[in-house]
Amino acid sequence: MDQPAPYHQGNLREALILAGMDLLTEGGVAGLTLRRAAARAGVSHAAPAHHFNGLPGLLTAIASRAFQHFSAAMDAARDAAGPDPFARLNGICSGYLNFAQDHAGFFHLMFVSAEVDRADPDLRQASSTAYLILRGACLPFAARGATEDEPLEVGVWSLVHGYALLGFNLPNGQNRRFNTLPAFTDLLARLIADGPKP
Amino acid sequence: MDQPAPYHQGNLREALILAGMDLLTEGGVAGLTLRRAAARAGVSHAAPAHHFNGLPGLLTAIASRAFQHFSAAMDAARDAAGPDPFARLNGICSGYLNFAQDHAGFFHLMFVSAEVDRADPDLRQASSTAYLILRGACLPFAARGATEDEPLEVGVWSLVHGYALLGFNLPNGQNRRFNTLPAFTDLLARLIADGPKP
DNA sequence: GAATAATGTTGACAGTGTCAAGATAACGGG
DNA sequence: CCCGTTATCTTGACACTGTCAACATTATTC
């Protein structure tokens, strides 16, 4: 006979995270709700409180997961770009921009939402990993670009981050398409300017 | 005798916008609520519906107002920077960064919030004005920086926008202070690279 | 001055996050 | 094996939100 289906979830925390990610993908940030995630996981509305510190806790957990996907996307784009240092950095940026475009909900949680706990250790670990990927690709150019207190990677990060966000809410109201990756590459080349250090 | 105090507000729409801006400044985006703005304007909770298209309408109106302040701040910073084209562009960027730091709530409404109606004519007018200010300061450098389909101003805008946002939510979790304006200037100089066209 | 429009109020509704109290399941020590 | 303890989940409530409909009041216009 079947074992009686367990009254409790096997791993409700995980189920809630996955349900929340689905909701986020389907309905954007507004579509992700503690009660809806609970319902989708087949559980009552107050169950999540035992696994997360309220809504911010769930959002933070999802943001950590999103950062892991983000890192994986940048890694893959870099590795597909071949050996040239600039091509690798540009590949990472294209992974960045594509992720921002294709997973706007995740991106919002990762970088924008004020409801995620930026001090959470898991989140810091995940975001730090992503940061190091970009930093690593900047290293070949660091000698020429570094200021005393503001390394080049901050400039690259700012450029790609701003470019991604303005893609969503362009101040003149016309969201542009992201067929402009070559154009971004030009901007990146201007910022890097001097090429890899000899 | 006094005229009897009007039962209706003299200009409730304006009063609601000002109350909303106060709430936004005091309590951030989470502190701004239709009902609270109505209460602060001394009016019942459903009154705003006659002046705005719901909460998005109020947020959109506030975003327009915020863009006007934003433009004024950039104008002032540019005019205080003297005649040199790079100094003027850099002044605008410093106005941009200072505004983002000092008015995070406005900035969020202007560029981030999904509840703002980006198609609103007033908002488009106000944001377009701001855009033209930055564009104008980029013009002296445009000949060298322009790509066919991606003008230099988009690069400058991306850089300063990303730099501003990463100042709030740095991916490694440590929000840096904005005493780094000189460092940003270095980045901007790298992007401009060739100097004003001869 | 009376009809009409603009402006506000009241009350209700569904939805949200959160909390307290109790029910149920799993686990561990005797 | 059984009982107490703990973790997990449910139920019910609360305050708060945006929005709507019905009604009251004021201003405007003919």
- CA nearest B63: which of B117, B134, B128, B132? B117
Q: Which residues of A35-62 are buried (b: 16+ CB within 10 A; e: fewer)?
A: ebbbebbebeeebbeebbeebbbbbbbb
Residues A47, A35: Cα–Cα separation, whole Å: 9
* A40 CB inside 7 Å of strand C: no
**In this predicted structure, what is the pLDDT of residue A107?**
97
* CATH architecture designation of domain B1-51: Orthogonal Bundle (1.10)
Q: With an 8 Å Cβ cutoff, is A150 touching chain B?
A: yes
8 Å CB contact of B147 and A191:
no
pLDDT at A173 over 50: no
Per-residue pLDDT, averaged over A146-169, amounts to 82
Greater confidence, A7 or A129? A129
Q: Where are the strands (E) in A49-180, listed by range?
A: none
The sign one gets for the Cα dihedral B148, A157, A181, A194 is positive
Please identify among residues 61-80 of chain A the ones whose CB lies closer than 8 Å to any CB of chain B.
67
Q: Using an 8 Å Cβ cutoff, are A110 and A53 in contact?
A: no
Partner residue opposite B147 with nearest CB, options A110, A127, A183 = A183
Q: Which bases on strand D have an atom closer than 7 Å to a protein beta carbon?
A: 7-13, 16-22, 25-27
Residues B97, A39: Cα–Cα separation, whole Å: 43
- Domain residue extents for chain B: 1-51, 54-192
pLDDT at A196 over 60: no
Residues of chain B with pLDDT under 70: 1-8, 143-150, 168-179, 194-198
Partner residue opposite A171 with nearest CB, options B29, B127, B147 = B127
Out of A4-18, A19-33, B106-120, B139-153, least confident range: B139-153
Cα separations (Å) of B56 from A28, A95, B62?
A: 17, 33, 10
- Percent pLDDT > 70 in chain A is 83
Out of A64-73, A178-187, B93-102, least confident range: A178-187
**In this predicted structure, what is the pLDDT of residue A150?**
62
Q: Using an 8 Å Cβ cutoff, are A36 and A23 in contact?
A: yes
Nearest chain B Cα distance for residue A149, angstroms? 7
pLDDT in tens, A69-128: 999 999 999 999 999 999 999 999 999 999 999 999 999 999 999 999 999 999 999 999
* pLDDT grade for A183, boundaries at 50, 70 and 90: confident
Q: Which nucleotide is nearest to B3 (CA to C1')?
A: D26
Partner residue opposite B157 with nearest CB, options A124, A127, A166 = A166
Task: Give the number of A-B residue pairs with CB atoms closer than 8 Å.
Answer: 137
Looking at the domain B54-192, which fold is it?
Tetracycline Repressor; domain 2 (1.10.357)
